[in-house]
Structure 1
């Protein structure tokens, strides 16, 4: 009887505790549409998982053989109110399910001078970090040119999101919704925590893809904002 009673209590009450509902992540919405991409093919070869020795993970992308961009907030440590040391930041190129094409160490990084982690929302348009690596991670032929963001233009955003951190995962069928006066680019791509630092691609008038921004903020529903690229 004690055993049967325990099982009954588990069915009535324990099931909810053992199978708590998943917390809704910002930026995905109810109609999120994402898929896995092959980061060993163009244009995704520039993509890397940026991770720290403290367990932090974000996304980054190469803009030169030994230079990557990511979101500055990925390198900020709220507990110490300082940025992490460059030696504690690593990049895994082509990462998927524990495998990667290349590992690189960050030797130094530069935070955009206008970014203030104490005023993240107010300075989101400057939420950029330039990472200098200890070795080349792509060839010049792999690089994707900068482009121009235009209203309603087709867009793509891929990263390593919190709910799928082991695979390059994202939205390849979204669009640009607006351009803010401070430079932020509003998109409706399904992207959330962990995608920060990922490249926002926009199809250009000639049909080619160009990078226009760095994913930095997620909205309550599907979509978010990208910071403009450095000049």
Structure 2
């Protein structure tokens, strides 16, 4: 495992501990989230996305040098602009301040329709594709992307580095698809701040897991209604890059 000064920057952004567990948006009273092994499938393909401003979100490896996440994670509200790629870092296998690999970002693509500075941003366009400066570790397999329809009741999983347990990977492994609304996938996976950009996982044809979307917004508790951008919004870009021989 690797421990670096970068981890200290992350810790500087962690809120102080509270005597009582806060009521978190997007997490129900039962809170089905559990710690998962960041070195086991499919969770080893889930990454922590860190910015030079100590912001942090979650992402998923979908190609040897390609990570998908939420675009709002890359936005600087002070300058009202997206951060430069050089300000972004991807950590593999992050667990309690240690990680197996730190990779910088060489390029970022966001949806032109998404403007987080607008009064009412188009949330269904809140996705970003990161091109890594170096390939991911060979031990980390990219997750496939699924654009298949998700009927209500489809079993799902969603994991990420939540604000209340930011040092470990937490996941809801027993949640369901609820439907669609305003171009977004609606699900009942427990998730809160910090999980933005985390992959909404669905079973693939081969029995593994595929990325059906990326988490972008949390509903109110206790009736969890959380939202993800469908993978169909960025799948064409990934396919285009693959056809062009890009990672």
Distance 1:141 1:74 in 2: 23
Provide the TM-score with structure 1 as the length reference. Answer: 0.85
Shift in Å at residue 202 of structure 1?
A: 1.5
Task: Provide closer, same or farther for how the CA distance between residues 140 and 185 of structure 1 changes in structure 2, counting only shifts above 3 A.
Answer: farther
Matches within 5 A, 1:213-224: 213-221=213-221, 222-224=224-226
- Cross-structure match for 1:31: 30
**Is the deviation greater in 146-155 or in 157-166?**
146-155
> What residue is the counterpart of 1:192 in the other structure?
192
Using the alignment, how far apart are the partners of 2:59 and 2:119 within structure 1?
19
Tell me, yes or no, if the aligned pair for 2:63 and 2:143 is still in contact at 8 Å: no
Gaps of 5+ in 1: 1-17
Partner of 1:177: 178
Cα 1:20–1:35 change in 2 (3 A) is closer
**Aligned pairs, how many?**
213
Distance in 1 separating the partners of 2:102 and 2:18: 37
Shift of 1:223: 3.8
CA RMSD, Structure 1 to Structure 2 (Å): 2.1
**Structure-to-structure mapping, 1:191-210, within 5 angstroms:** 191-204=191-204, 207-210=207-210
Give the whole-Å Cα distance in 2 for the aligned partners of 1:42 and 1:85.
31
Please state how far the C-alpha of 1:85 moved relative to its aligned partner. 1.8
Q: In the TM superposition, what is the alpha-carbon distance from 1:140 to its structure 2 partner?
A: 9.2
Q: Is the 8 A contact 1:191 1:223 kept in 2?
A: no
- Contact 1:46-1:138 within 8 A present in 2 as well: no
Task: State how far apart, in whole Å, the 1-side matches of 2:119 and 2:216 are.
Answer: 10
Classify the secondary structure of the residue corresponding to 1:186.
strand
Q: C-alpha displacement at 1:30, in angstroms?
A: 1.1
Q: Which residue of 2 aligns with 1:151?
A: 152
Shift of 1:207: 4.5
Q: Structure 1 residues 42, 21: CA separation in 2 closer, same or farther (over 3 Å shift)?
A: closer
Q: Is the 8 A contact 2:76 2:82 kept in 1?
A: yes
Matches within 5 A, 1:109-120: 109-119=108-118
The normalised TM-score by structure 2 is 0.80
SS at match of 2:164: coil
Kindly indicate whether the alpha-carbon contact (under 8 Å) linking 1:173 and 1:189 is maintained by their aligned counterparts in 2. yes
Corresponding position of 2:212:
212
In structure 2, the partner of 1:94 is 93
The match for 1:14 is: none
SS, match of residue 163 in structure 1: helix
Secondary structure of the residue aligned to 1:142 is coil
Q: Is the CA contact 1:64–1:140 (under 8 Å) kept in the aligned structure 2?
A: no
Looking at structure 2, the residues matched to 59 and 211 of structure 1 have their Cα atoms a distance apart, in angstroms, of: 13
Considering only CA atoms, is the larger Rg found in Structure 1 or Structure 2?
Answer: 1
Question: Is the 2:101–2:137 contact (alpha carbons within 8 Å) kept by the matching residues of 1?
Answer: no
- Give the CA deviation at 1:141: 7.5
Q: Is the CA contact 1:47–1:93 (under 8 Å) kept in the aligned structure 2?
A: yes
Q: Could you say what secondary structure the match of 1:79 adopts?
A: coil
| Alpha-carbon distance in 1 for matches of 2:155, 2:59 | 21
For 2:18 and 2:60, locate their aligned partners in 1 and report how far apart those are by CA, in whole Å. 36
Q: What residue is the counterpart of 2:230 in the other structure?
A: 228
